[in-house]
């Protein structure tokens, strides 16, 4: 039988106790370290991955008050708050050992021990140690992701009057638990605004869970959002919490709410009203506590009138609406975005020497940006990658120099680049700009379905 991979440190001034414990534990556990004095604790904990410390409470001859054990317990926990410490104590010290548990010890082993009880205590302690290790990794991962997200999104950019108005609204609503609907064209930064609200809210220490409803099929909707029980359907191999549960004490951001099919809108409405979810295949109702944010580029009020979107769901999700204006309506913010992404991608691609020449900046400031901030981001990244010298020129961006033309025929006739993909991308941009970000109308004019247009937007990074 293979041994369990773990490292157990035993500290006791009685060599017989150390030998007995080691002989018992080494049958099941991979590494057993024994010491007759706690003086090496600092060095051992800092150089080895210790899973459990088994600590005697007395080390001085003639002293049985347990003060040394208490001292070293506190010392160990000051180094590693998640360390699993098990005390070894005689019968007369049980009350003292119980006090030590109140100070952070996991459990205590009575001397002389029974092997079954000894091993059971060690096994339980190891389970806790593994759990603590997983939690520590998750916390570190979360911090790393948060740092990466903050670097990517940063603070809200823009000094235009329209963006200052948006910021003022964010300041007012972030501290509340009101449902907020963020409106704006593709690429305007709706997720960015949602993250900023999360960061300023009382849920900021919790997770930020982003769900793109436009990418969820009807068959996966309930499983992804509400979770499922093992065996609920063919591929349900284990119990899985849904996004509502995953966002507990944090923020759940339901993006592209307008893409939710009408027949599923009532299910979402019920969950939002009751603040409870039921996993697929399970009859248990689970309460959730999360801040709810929503976003869309769809004209929901028009869709309500057309019977495409439930009015009661719209009332539920838009206690407050925040509309992000497209870049063409706040051109004074373009330079700030350009410089932000220039700094970001110079660092990413190790080109800190790169500068943007005046001609390149002029081209960027005059461009109409149908893809909004997302288009700026990809354009600057391309410019940084393609630049050969010490400065970025207009040619490095490969931006369309096409003027706005009234008909598709006129645009194509005056377009020098006959690459089909470039023309398709340009036509999509024109259609979106013409219909001011309304995906349904743009798709209709292009002769595409909404889903097909979304796939092309993703393909061309628009």
Please check whether residue 378 lies inside any domain of the structure. yes
Q: Write out the residue range of the structural domain in which residue 209 sits.
A: 161-325
Domain boundary among 281, 306, 325: 325
Strand locations in 335-401, DSSP E? 355-356, 391-392
- Find where tokens 């979402």 sit: 268
Assigned token pair, 397? 């961006």
Helix or strand run (H / E) with residue 166: helix 161-173
Domain boundary among 369, 399, 429: 399
- The C-alpha atoms of residue 392 and residue 360 are separated, in whole angstroms, by 7
Handedness of CA 116, 122, 127, 128 (dihedral sign): positive
Looking at the fold, whether 192 and 246 belong to one and the same domain comes out as yes
Please check whether residue 355 lies inside any domain of the structure. yes
What pLDDT does 79 receive? 84
The model's pLDDT over 85-94, given as tens digits with 9 standing for 90+, comes to 998 887 666 6
Please check whether residue 156 lies inside any domain of the structure. no
Looking at the fold, whether 341 and 441 belong to one and the same domain comes out as no
- The C-alpha atoms of residue 252 and residue 393 are separated, in whole angstroms, by 41
- What is the share, in percent, of the chain residues with pLDDT greater than 70? 88
Domain boundary among 399, 421, 439: 399
- pLDDT tier, 217 (very low <50, low <70, confident <90, very high otherwise): confident
What pLDDT does 165 receive? 92
What pLDDT does 155 receive? 64
Domain count, the chain: 4
Looking at the fold, whether 193 and 315 belong to one and the same domain comes out as yes
Whether 62 shows a pLDDT value over 80: the answer reads: no
Whether 145 shows a pLDDT value over 60: the answer reads: no
For the domain that residue 377 is a member of, what is the CATH number? 1.10.8.60
Looking at the fold, whether 177 and 304 belong to one and the same domain comes out as yes
Whether 405 shows a pLDDT value over 50: the answer reads: no
Looking at the fold, whether 194 and 271 belong to one and the same domain comes out as yes
Looking at the fold, whether 371 and 442 belong to one and the same domain comes out as no
Taking residues 371-378, report their average pLDDT: 90
Looking at the fold, whether 351 and 291 belong to one and the same domain comes out as no
For residue 88, list its beta bridge partners.
Answer: 56, 109
Looking at the fold, whether 107 and 30 belong to one and the same domain comes out as yes
Q: What is the pTM of this model?
A: 0.58
Looking at the fold, whether 363 and 301 belong to one and the same domain comes out as no
- pLDDT tier, 162 (very low <50, low <70, confident <90, very high otherwise): very high
What pLDDT does 197 receive? 95
Which of 53-62, 181-190, 263-272, 413-422 is least confident? 413-422
Burial 72-107 (b: 16+ CB within 10 A, else e): bbeebbeeeeebbbbbbbbeebeebbeebeeebbbb
- The C-alpha atoms of residue 306 and residue 5 are separated, in whole angstroms, by 63
Looking at the fold, whether 94 and 24 belong to one and the same domain comes out as yes
């Amino acid at each position: 039988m293979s041994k369990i991979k773990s490292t157990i440190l035993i500290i006791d001034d009685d060599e017989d106790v150390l030998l007995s414990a080691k002989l018992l534990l080494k049958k099941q556990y991979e590494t057993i370290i024994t010491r007759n004095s706690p003086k090496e604790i600092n060095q051992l904990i800092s150089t080895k991955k210790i899973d459990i410390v088994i600590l005697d409470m007395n080390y001085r001859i003639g002293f049985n008050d347990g003060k040394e054990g208490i001292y070293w317990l506190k010392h160990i926990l000051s180094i590693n708050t998640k360390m699993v410490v098990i005390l070894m104590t005689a019968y007369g010290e049980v009350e003292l050992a119980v006090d030590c548990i109140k100070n952070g010890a996991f459990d205590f082993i009575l001397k002389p021990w029974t092997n079954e009880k000894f091993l059971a205590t060690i096994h339980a302690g190891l389970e806790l140690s593994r759990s603590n290790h997983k939690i520590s990794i998750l916390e570190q991962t979360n911090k790393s992701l948060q740092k990466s997200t903050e670097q990517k999104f940063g603070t809200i950019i823009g000094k235009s009057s329209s963006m200052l108005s948006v910021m003022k609204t964010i300041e007012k609503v972030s501290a509340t638990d009101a449902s907020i609907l963020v409106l704006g064209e593709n690429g305007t930064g709706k997720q960015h605004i949602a993250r900023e609200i999360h960061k300023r809210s009382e849920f900021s220490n919790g997770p930020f869970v982003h769900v793109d409803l436009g990418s969820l099929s009807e068959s996966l909707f309930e499983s992804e959002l509400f979770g499922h029980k093992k065996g609920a359907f063919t591929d349900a191999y284990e119990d899985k919490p849904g996004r509502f549960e995953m966002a507990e004490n944090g923020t759940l951001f339901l993006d592209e709410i307008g893409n939710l099919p009408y027949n599923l809108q009532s299910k979402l409405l019920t969950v939002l009203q009751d603040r409870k979810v039921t996993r697929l295949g399970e009859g248990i109702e689970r309460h959730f506590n999360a801040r709810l944010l929503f976003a869309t580029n769809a004209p929901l009020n028009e869709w309500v009138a057309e019977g495409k979107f439930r009015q009661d769901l719209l009332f539920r999700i838009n206690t407050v609406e925040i509309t992000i204006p497209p870049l063409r309506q706040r051109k004074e913010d373009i330079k700030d975005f350009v410089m932000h992404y220039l700094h970001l991608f110079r660092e990413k691609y190790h080109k800190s020497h790169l500068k943007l020449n005046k001609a390149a900046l002029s081209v960027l400031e005059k461009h109409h940006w149908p893809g909004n901030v997302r288009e700026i981001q990809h354009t600057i990244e391309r410019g940084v990658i393609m630049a050969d010298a010490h400065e970025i020129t207009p040619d490095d961006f490969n931006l369309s120099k096409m003027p706005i033309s009234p008909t598709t025929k006129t645009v194509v006739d005056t377009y020098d680049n006959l690459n089909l993909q470039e023309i398709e991308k340009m036509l999509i941009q024109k259609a979106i700009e013409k219909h001011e970000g309304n995906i349904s109308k743009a798709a209709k004019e292009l002769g595409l379905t909404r889903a097909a247009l979304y796939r092309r937007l993703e393909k061309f990074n628009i």
